[in-house]
Structure 1
C-alpha cells in the first residue's frame, strides 16, 4: 500500500498565524487518525524530510467516549480515535475545531461548553436530599429518553454544526440544553428544575435555536437533541404561564 499523506493545520500559539504541514506515514492495517498522529509524534519529520515539532492534540479514552480528540477530519467534525484510515479519502486533512479558541495545533479550549453546563446547573443535587425517601418510579420511556441524553460526551460536534452558535451569538447551544433536560428528568430534578428552566428562558436560551437540526446529524452518540430542545420549550412555556398567573 502507498504511504498515507497527512495534511495538518497547525498553530504554534493562540495568537499565532495558522500554517499547513504535510507528513508521509507508512500504511498499516487498522490505522486510525489518532495512531497517525502518534506516528508523527514518534518521528516529527515533514513530507520533504525536514524536521519539525510533534503535532499537539487532545486525547484520552481512545474509544469515542470522552470526546477530547474531536477535530475536523477531511472537513467533517468527528473524533480522531474512531476515524479509521481505510474509510477516509486521501490525503487525510486534519484541522482544529473552528468554534473554540485554538490552544496549539489541533488542541482547542472548550471551556465555554463547561461554563454552559454550570449555567444550567447540569448536576444532581444531593445536599439535603438524604431524608426525602425513595424517588418516584420512572416509566420505561422516560428511562430510555434519559439514557439517550446521558450519552453526551461534551465533544462539541453539535456546536460546530450549529449556525446559531458562534462568537456573535449568546446561544448556549444544544449540548447544555440536552443536559438540562436530563437533570430535570432525574427523580431529584424538580428540586432545581425552576432554576434550570429560568436560565434557558433568558438571553442565549432556547429562543435562540434556529431549528437547523444540524446538531442531531453530526452527533456521534445520536443524542436526541432536537427532541430535548422541544421538551425544554414546553417546560419553559408551562413555567411562563405559571409565573404569569402567580403574579
Structure 2
C-alpha cells in the first residue's frame, strides 16, 4: 500500500457523520431532537446510517437509547416506504447519499401525515384517497377474460410514466394545499385518476372517478403551486395530469348537466 493510499484510508477512518434526528415516542407525545455521530464509510446512504444506529443505539452523549423507528422495504426507490424530511426536503432516504448531503444531516418525519413513532408516519390519508377515486381496474369474476383491448403506443408511453407512482407521499408533503386543515386528496391520487381512466377497461368507470374529484377535496382544491412535480422522485408529470383532468371534469360537468351517464 502506498503512502498516499494509507493516508486516505486513515483520513476516511477518522471522518464522522453527524445526524440530528427528530424523534417522537408516541403519536400524541411531544417531538424532541437527538444527536448521533457515526463513523464515515464510503457510499453510505441515510438508510445504512439508520441501520447502524439501530445496531448500536447510542447517542452522541454515549447514552443507550431506544432504536429509531422508520419504514423501509425495497431499498431501491420502488416501494416509497422510506420517505422522510432530509435537510428540510421530503425525499427517499434510500437514495439520499451521505456524500451529497450537508452536515449535520437533519432527519424528521413528514408533517402531512400523522406520526406513528419517530420517522414513521401513517400514510392512510393517501391510501384512502386512492380508494375514493377507485384507483384500480375492476374485473368481473376471477376467470380468464382473454386478451383485453390494446392501447395506442403513444397513450401507453405517457401512461407508463404515470404508473411509476410508488405512493411515497413526497408530493403530498411538498404541496402547500395538503395539510391538517384541508381535505385536498393531493397530486398522486389525481394523477392515478388520469392513469386508470386511460386504461381501455378502466375507462368504464371514468365518469365515476371524475365525479369523485369534482367534489370536496378534489381538483378545485389544487392551488397550482407545482411543488409536486418538482419534488416527485420519479419525475412524474403530475401537473400535466392535473391540467388534463381540469379539461375532463369540465366535459363531465356538461354530461352531468344534460343527464348523460357516459364518460
TM-score (norm 1): 0.96
Unaligned runs of 5+ in 2: 1-11
Tell me, yes or no, if structure 1 residue 180 matches structure 2 residue 193: yes
Tell me, yes or no, if structure 1 residue 35 matches structure 2 residue 33: no
Tell me, yes or no, if structure 1 residue 229 matches structure 2 residue 237: no
From 102, 112, 133, the counterpart of 1:89: 102
Residue in 2 aligned with 1:69? 82
Residue in 2 aligned with 1:58? 71
Give the paired residue count: 247
The structural deviation recorded for 1:135 is: 3.9
Between 1:112-121 and 1:187-196, the stretch displaced more is 187-196
What CA RMSD, in Å, does the superposition of the two structures yield over aligned residues?
A: 1.5
| Equivalent residues in 2 for 1:142-221, closer than 5 Å | 142-221=155-234
From 134, 147, 162, the counterpart of 1:121: 134
SS at match of 2:258: helix
Say if 1:131 and 1:192 are closer, same or farther in 2 by CA, change over 3 A. farther
SS at match of 1:116: helix
The structural deviation recorded for 1:128 is: 5.9
Q: How many Å separate the matches in 2 of 1:97 and 1:128?
A: 39
Residue in 2 aligned with 1:21? 34
TM-score (norm 2): 0.90
CA deviation map 1:109-149 (0-9, x unaligned): 00111000000000001116979775443222211111010
SS at match of 1:24: strand
SS at match of 1:146: helix
From 253, 260, 263, the counterpart of 1:240: 253
From 102, 112, 115, the counterpart of 2:125: 112
Q: Name the larger-Rg structure.
A: 2
